[in-house]
Amino acid sequence: MASGLVTHEDRDRARDRLSLRRAYQTHGPRRWLWLLWLSIGPGILVMLGENDAPSMLSYAATGSRFGIGFFLPFIVITFVMAVVVQEMAMRIGAVTHRGFSELMADRFGGMWGGLLLTDLLFGNLLTLITEFIGIRAGLGYFHVPPPIAVSAAIVVIGVAITTGRYWTWERLIMALAIFNAVFVPIAILSHPAWSEVAGAMIRFGPMPAWNSNTVLILVADIGATVTPWMIFFQQAAVADKGLTPADMHRGRLDTVLGAVLAAAFAIAAVVATSTLFRHGISVANYQTANFASALRPFVGRVGASLFALGIVEAGLVAAIAISTASAYAFAEVRGQSRSLNRPLKEAWSFYLTLIGVAVVAGAVVLIPHIPLELVVLLVNVVAVLSTPPIFLFLLLLANDRQVMGEWVNRTWQNWAAVAVGALITLAGLLFALSVLDPRLI
């Protein structure tokens, strides 16, 4: 593209900034609400996107195996960890207007950028496979054949990227993502002891027996809130949206609001399936529609159907977000067009990458006799073990004054980030030990 030529992307982003400028010129409560509405999006999408199919199944496994005592406040802590990580990604994107991969390659060299990109794309592909497993399982509850379920999901992903406008794409996916709230009525239909739920939220219950199964659930719940793709996605989405340091406090609010919503829906999934724990019912295969079937006697046909649809929604939103994160990162490293504000003909390689990784992941799920349970376990291992190095580079960028200027991390932010990094690393080590030899735990 010739220098100085105004592109479709430039016009769309300028239109978004003009809307923000007009909002700044209004007065009263309407001004604040309008500014918030125009600024939110990446934070809510990344948090609800991480409430994906394997994450919701992990929360369901948590409730059915251990009830509500210890894990409700633990889940809140994991989302606090996510806010610490994603706030840095948001801040870097708003200050630099560049994605994580591009910035990484510029500051630390193409070798590191390429290694982290390979790590991300491999992890994203594995995670996408689990999303299609969730979609296949959820629709399988309604007797939809796997090829139709997977094909329909790919079509939805393809339709979502045809808007040629980041704003429209973001609002469409947010509308789909808010359906994650379906787990709240399921929790209500399960008739939990609300006094116990309230008590669990203000104090930790007794720690479950320490063994490899407990470690698996603990690490899976951490992996359900802090993963590499979230960093790449939010930073690139903030840049694509055109947010600036002037929007920083609303970007933080967007991230916190997304975490609050996602935590509430995750807790609802735990509460809903804790009824299985109370009745001593075991669901052996967490990667199928067994949860919906097992819950049906307690939440009714409507509740069970909502659970299955919730897993489909979780997988679909995450598949869209993770495919987009992969396309952003791949295009950044290659120096290619990488905006949802670009029409297909101007950024065909970006869109081809986006839909291509989804097609590959969907095709893998349809391989006969593939060990789906082993794939999900492998994804959890890869996600937890691959997060620390990416998180380290994120922390280095957030402290780079040449990159961030006055927006570098404050001391308390660094302490919080180090604590999060230490917990993630410890979780990864425990998980690795539990896989190598459960007797070591």
- In order of their start, the domains of the chain are 43-440 (1.20.1740.10)
pTM, whole model, 2 decimals? Answer: 0.87
Give the SS3 label for residue 340. coil
Task: Name which of 91, 78, 84, 76 is nearest 417 in CA terms.
Answer: 84
Q: What pLDDT does residue 286 have?
A: 47
* Interval 36-88: pLDDT, tens: 777 788 999 999 988 988 888 888 888 888 888 888 999 999 999 999 999 99
One-character DSSP codes across 45-65 = HHHHHHS-HHHHHHHHHHHHH
DSSP H or E stretch at residue 355: helix 348-365
Q: What pLDDT does residue 289 have?
A: 53
In the block, residue with structure tokens 């539990």? 434
Task: Name which of 69, 298, 58 is nearest 198 in CA terms.
Answer: 69
Q: Which segments in the chain show pLDDT lower than 50?
A: 1-3, 285-287
Q: What pLDDT does residue 55 have?
A: 85
Contacts of 299 (CB under 8 A, 6+ apart): 186, 189, 190, 272, 275, 307
Burial 187-202 (b: 16+ CB within 10 A, else e): bebbebeeebbeebee
Q: What pLDDT does residue 1 have?
A: 42
Q: What pLDDT does residue 2 have?
A: 42
CA distances 143 to 53, 146, 149, 289, 305, Å, are 18, 9, 10, 10, 12
Q: What pLDDT does residue 159 have?
A: 85
Q: What pLDDT does residue 431 have?
A: 73
* Interval 261-308: pLDDT, tens: 999 999 999 999 999 888 877 665 444 557 888 899 999 999 999 999
Task: Name which of 279, 309, 210, 244 is nearest 97 in CA terms.
Answer: 244
